[in-house]
Amino acid sequence: MTDSSNVQIMRAIAAFFEQMTGQNLSESRMWRVETALRDVMRQHGLKDLSDLLYALQADHSDQIAAATIHCITNHESSFFRDLKVFEMVEKQLLPHLNATLPEKLLRIWCVGCSTGQEVYSLAIILKRQEELWKNWRVSVIGTDISPFSITKAQEGLYQQMDVQRGLPIADLLRWFEPVQDRWRIAPDLRAITSFRVDNILEPRAVSGKFDLILCRNVLLYFTPELRGRALTSIARHARTDTQLVLGAGETTIGANTLFSPSSEFRGAYQQAVTPVSQVMDRLAS
């Protein structure tokens, strides 16, 4: 296979990836494709990228497609990643929600949760604040497009190097139990967390409204049009007082006018208040 034909095939696979996920695989990231997909080709007996492309075009819903999407997607995650964000959540957003929510019900949604560290980090914070949430119903749901990531999140079983990244030793000893050379999430955290496979561009695994939504480092790879679609999907599950947290390099500016920066919490967003949104809030309550 010539270099030019190989590049064309990689671009076709990148186009498939964008079609399925909405994420744009830039030329600068294209070099990752063949390296990332070697395990997929080996596991499914495919000799090269040409065979893989044929398999993808034959059936978008099969295991090869899911494995391909998983391998190309960025799954970078760690416990308490970007600590300042979690400090804001713990010290500002959650106390605010506790004081203002009309019912003793707190629902949190993590979009693009990868292998679950963000969800479990939030669960640890909620347990640290146990007195604050006494007699409340609290839940944290994580969604991700990759079935492989969701399976690992549901298992709640992490390697030593995973728990060494960002997780305080006191939380490790309190909320994990050793299982041979790995660490398993404690049942108390499992009880308030759940995970679903879902695509933020067409979410079907979540329902109702959430009080806090984290969608960090998901919109980075979307075109402005698709960022708008993703924010529209999020808005369907948010009220005007719902707090939305994006990644450090992300913004709602230029995507749509559904969300605007919070006047009270730096780095958070809320739905823009309009007569229509106020009516929808009343109908949903």
- Side by side, the strands of the sheet bearing 259-261 are 193-197, 137-144, 105-111, 210-215, 238-246, 268-271, 259-261
Q: Which pLDDT value is given to residue 43? A: 82
Helix, strand, coil fractions of the chain, as percent rounded to 5: 45, 20, 35
Residue 140 near residue 118 (C-beta atoms within 8 A):
no
| Identity of the residue numbered 275 | P
Question: For residue 75, what pLDDT band results from cuts at 50, 70 and 90?
Answer: low
Backbone angles phi, psi at 10, to 5 degrees: -60, -40
Looking at per-residue pLDDT, the higher value among 110 and 70 belongs to 110
Confidence (pTM): 0.81
pLDDT of residue 48 exceeding 80: yes
Question: For residue 28, what pLDDT band results from cuts at 50, 70 and 90?
Answer: low
Do 83-284 and 3-72 have the same topology in CATH? no
Task: Report the CATH superfamily, name and number, of domain 83-284.
Answer: Vaccinia Virus protein VP39 (3.40.50.150)
Residue 210 near residue 140 (C-beta atoms within 8 A):
no
Q: Which pLDDT value is given to residue 283? A: 46
Q: Which pLDDT value is given to residue 284? A: 52
Q: Sketch the domain layout of the chain as residue ranges.
A: 3-72, 83-284
The CATH class, in words, for 3-72 is: mainly alpha
Task: Provide CB contacts within 8 A for 169, sequence distance 6+.
Answer: none
Per DSSP, the three-state class of 241 is strand
| Identity of the residue numbered 115 | T
Average pLDDT over residues 268-272: 89
Tell me the two tokens of residue 238.
């948010």
| Identity of the residue numbered 221 | Y
Question: For residue 274, what pLDDT band results from cuts at 50, 70 and 90?
Answer: low
Share of the chain above pLDDT 70, in %: 88
Tell me the pLDDT of the chain averaged across its residues. Answer: 87
pLDDT of residue 202 exceeding 60: yes
Looking at per-residue pLDDT, the higher value among 274 and 243 belongs to 243
Per DSSP, the three-state class of 157 is strand
Question: How do strand 238-246 and strand 193-197 relate by DSSP bridges?
Answer: unpaired
First to last CA, the chain: 60
Scan for tokens 């990759």, then name that residue: 146
Q: Which pLDDT value is given to residue 277? A: 47
Instruction: State CA 120 to chain mean position distance.
Output: 12
For 76-122, the pLDDT digits (tens) are 789 999 999 999 999 999 999 999 999 999 999 999 999 999 999 99
Q: Which pLDDT value is given to residue 3? A: 59
The sign of the CA dihedral 108, 71, 155, 120 is negative
Average pLDDT over residues 218-231: 87
For 156-193, the pLDDT digits (tens) are 999 999 999 899 999 999 999 999 999 999 999 999 99
Among residues 231, 176, 246, 234, which one has the least CA distance to residue 210?
234
Q: How far apart are CA 71 and CA 44, in angstroms?
A: 14
